[in-house]
């Protein structure tokens, strides 16, 4: 009989502990707030790549044409 009462007491204590812990966790959560905005779109690199190629061709042409004396 004492074993049965001890088991019931332990089960009741564990249930109370779990219920108080779960209520504390639910009440302690902060408000998530609004969702974050979407990331900005990627920047186009077409103009920069084209200008880089033009500058590289112009630089190469200058080096080739004006370094004939060596």
Residue whose structure tokens are 């690199």: 45
Segment 10-61, tens digit of pLDDT: 999 998 888 888 776 666 667 778 988 887 787 666 778 888 899 999 999 9
Q: Is residue 68 part of a domain?
A: no
Q: Is residue 17 part of a domain?
A: yes
Q: Is residue 52 part of a domain?
A: no
The rounded distance, in Å, linking the Cα atoms of 9 and 23 is 21
The rounded distance, in Å, linking the Cα atoms of 44 and 40 is 12
Q: Is residue 53 part of a domain?
A: no
Q: What are phi and psi of 40, to 5 degrees?
A: -70, 155
Domain limits for position 12: 1-29
Token output for 31: 């408000």
Number of domains in the chain: 1
Q: Is residue 39 part of a domain?
A: no
Q: Is residue 61 part of a domain?
A: no
Q: What is residue 36's predicted lDDT score, i.e. its pLDDT?
A: 87
């Amino acid at each position: 009989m004492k074993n049965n009462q001890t088991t019931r007491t332990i089960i009741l204590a564990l249930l109370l502990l779990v219920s108080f812990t779960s209520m504390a966790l639910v009440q302690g959560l902060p408000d998530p707030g609004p969702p974050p905005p979407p990331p900005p779109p990627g920047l186009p690199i077409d103009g920069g790549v084209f200008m880089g190629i033009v500058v590289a061709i112009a630089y190469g042409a200058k080096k080739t044409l004006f370094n004939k004396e060596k």
